[in-house]
Amino acid sequence: FVPKVLAGRRLLITAGPTFEAIDPVRGITNLSSGRMGYAIARAARQAGAEVTLVSGPVALAAPPGVERIDVRSALDMHAAVMARATTADIFIAVAAVADYRVANAAEHKLKKDHGGVPAIELVENPDILAEVAALADGPFCVGFAAESQNLEAYAQAKRHKKKIPLIVGNLIQDGFGGDDNRLVLFDDQGSHPLTPASKSALATQLVDHIAKLTGSH
């Protein structure tokens, strides 16, 4: 039996990496597996939420009862999220979104024997979470921060910069890929370290915390 702490709430969530094309077959991406975001989508659905999962390219099946929208690049993810953000009650940004995309992506496959080493020019991607957080009548926003050091300082700085009530910190060595994680929740009340556990057990605890902060139960 799972308590329906998010009954009737509409949850929008991003997960996985983005893929920024260099040419039709090559690109820039990262090692996010999607497991953390998918576990939260599943836990929220089990807690009674109506869940839409905007997913970068991952090798996972959508959890039962969850609407999944597949995207590839940060711009695709941005468009899919912004089209749905105003009708969501809660937005959780778990995706590891590329900060930059390739400005000069090639229409055809780059050939090795043409003019030496290619130069890849980068341009900044939109910050999806910050944009949703800035919406006048937007959802309750939850961010994630994956850091290799100084977890509290860096996570809190992101929370304040993006103007969000809750950010979930994890260390890269604990969280990227794999089935387990160690999470610390940072909100206006301070920091709440969760006992290291499986991503699915942590997802349930995070959903409970969000339900409390949003007054859902």
d(CA 200, CA 51) in angstroms, rounded, equals: 16
d(CA 192, CA 190) in angstroms, rounded, equals: 7
The number of angstroms, rounded, from the C-alpha of 51 to the middle of its chain's C-alpha atoms is: 14
Shortest Cβ 167–ligand PMT spacing (Å): 7
Quick one: 109 or 191, whose CB is closer to ligand PMT?
Answer: 191
Report if residue 206 touches ligand PMT, rule: CB under 6 A: no
Is there a catalytic annotation at residue 30?
A: yes
Shortest Cβ 35–ligand PMT spacing (Å): 4
Nearest residue to 199 (alpha-carbon basis) of 68, 93, 94, 52: 94
Nearest residue to 29 (alpha-carbon basis) of 98, 115, 77: 98
Shortest Cβ 109–ligand PMT spacing (Å): 27
Quick one: 146 or 211, whose CB is closer to ligand PMT?
Answer: 146
Q: Are 83 and 110 in contact (CB under 8 A)?
A: no
Specify the residue for token string 């992506």. 105
d(CA 137, CA 87) in angstroms, rounded, equals: 9
Q: Residue 42: helix, strand or coil by DSSP?
A: helix
Report if residue 145 touches ligand PMT, rule: CB under 6 A: yes
Site string for ligand PMT, 79-118 (x = CB under 6 A): --------------xxxxx-x-------------------
**Which residues inside 38-77 make contact with ligand PMT, applying CB under 6 A?**
74
Instruction: Pick out the residues of the known binding site for CTP.
Output: 99, 109, 126-129, 144, 158, 162
Catalytic residue numbers, as ranges: 30
Instruction: Pick out the residues of the known binding site.
Output: 99, 109, 126-129, 144, 158, 162
